[in-house]
Amino acid sequence: MPLDLVTVPCLSDNYAYLLRNEATGQTALVDAPESEAIAHVLDRKGWALTDILLTHHHDDHLEGTAALRARDGARVIGAAADAHRLPPLDLAVSPGDTIEVCGEAVEVIDVSGHTLGHVAYYLPDSRLAFTADSLMALGCGRLFEGTAEQMWESLSRLAALPPDTMICSGHEYTANNARFALTIEPGNAALTSRHDTVMMARSNHLPTVPSLLADELATNPFLRAGEASVKAALGMETATDAEVFAEIRRRKDSF
């Protein structure tokens, strides 16, 4: 049986994710932006947390960890490289590791760029990737600690996942990302259609995540830096993919 996935809006524009194995009763949380919103969903459903997976050290992804750990005694999992600035970890993981959560294999992927030590969690059986502030719907995170080259390598790892993977990212930034994406590829018909869909969803206060990796590959300019059409649009036909990515990121930072 596939795992149940529940998207939990938190703070002003964050998302946390709950995973549930109904057969075993195991319930995992990916990132803990705040405790109250997440505990409300757990209480309503009658679930108890068994695991909390943290992606990176920013407060808006881990503020609720202590309270939620105390609530159910959940195991807290995070990157060994980031352990010095995460809440105390019960299990420290590294890129390339495979662990078991909710009865499924979970692969740990290095997605440094937004921060150093940022990891994503990929569940190949359920085709779910929890990418937080690395790959986002129609966007990617700002480069607070890593380089453009590092982020491009991280995004390339995620782009290589099966196209039917659902990308569970950490923020509701999609409307602004869609407007920016059209400045890079105004002639991309798939992007124009997605822009309209996103705007309709947000006008009805509906979430725009998770998103399908196939849609990101077709419309997300940060994944499309290697496309000849994108390079031509930017006048960077002879530039490397990483250089084009860096230019797109620079433009988004001032958008």
Would you list the DSSP string of 41-66? HHHHHT----EEE-----GGGTTTHH
114 is known as an active-site residue: yes
- The answer for 176, left when phi > 0, alpha when psi is -120 to 50, beta otherwise, is alpha
Provide the residue range defining the domain that includes 210.
4-253
125 is known as an active-site residue: no
Q: Residues 241-250: contacts with CB within 8 Å, 24+ apart?
A: 241/152, 242/148, 242/149, 242/152, 242/153, 243/148, 245/148, 245/151, 245/152, 245/155, 246/148, 246/149, 246/152, 248/184, 248/221, 248/222, 249/140, 249/142, 249/143, 249/148, 249/151, 249/222
CA distance 139 to 81: 25
Distance of CA 81 to the CA centre of its chain: 19
Cα four-point dihedral sign 120, 121, 124, 128: negative
Six-digit token pair at 1?
Answer: 């049986």
Number of domains comprising the chain: 1
Six-digit token pair at 231?
Answer: 């390079």
Per-residue pLDDT of the chain (255 residues; tens, 9 = 90+): 689 999 999 999 999 999 999 999 999 999 999 999 999 999 999 999 999 999 999 999 999 999 999 999 999 999 999 999 999 999 999 999 999 999 999 999 999 999 999 999 999 999 999 999 999 999 999 999 999 999 999 999 999 999 999 999 999 999 999 999 999 999 999 999 999 999 999 999 999 999 999 999 999 999 999 999 999 999 999 999 999 999 999 999 999
Amino acid sitting at position 221:
P
171 is known as an active-site residue: yes
Q: Which of 4, 60, 72, 90 is catalytic?
A: 60
Q: Environment class of residue 253 by beta-carbon count within 10 Å: exposed (0-12), middle (13-18) or buried (19+)?
A: exposed
Amino acid sitting at position 107:
E
Helix, strand, coil distribution of the chain in percent, nearest 5: 35, 25, 40
Q: What is the CATH number of the domain that holds 100?
A: 3.60.15.10
Q: Which of 31, 110, 114, 215 is catalytic?
A: 114
Stretch (H or E) spanning 7: strand 4-10
195 is known as an active-site residue: no
Cα four-point dihedral sign 51, 57, 61, 62: positive
Q: Which of 57, 58, 118, 195 is catalytic?
A: 58
60 is known as an active-site residue: yes
72 is known as an active-site residue: no
Q: Which of 57, 118, 171, 195 is catalytic?
A: 171
Q: Which of 133, 195, 215, 241 is catalytic?
A: 133
120 C-beta neighbours (distance < 10 Å), count? 27
Q: Which of 31, 51, 56, 82 is catalytic?
A: 56
What pLDDT was estimated at residue 2? Answer: 81
What pLDDT was estimated at residue 18? Answer: 98
164 is known as an active-site residue: no
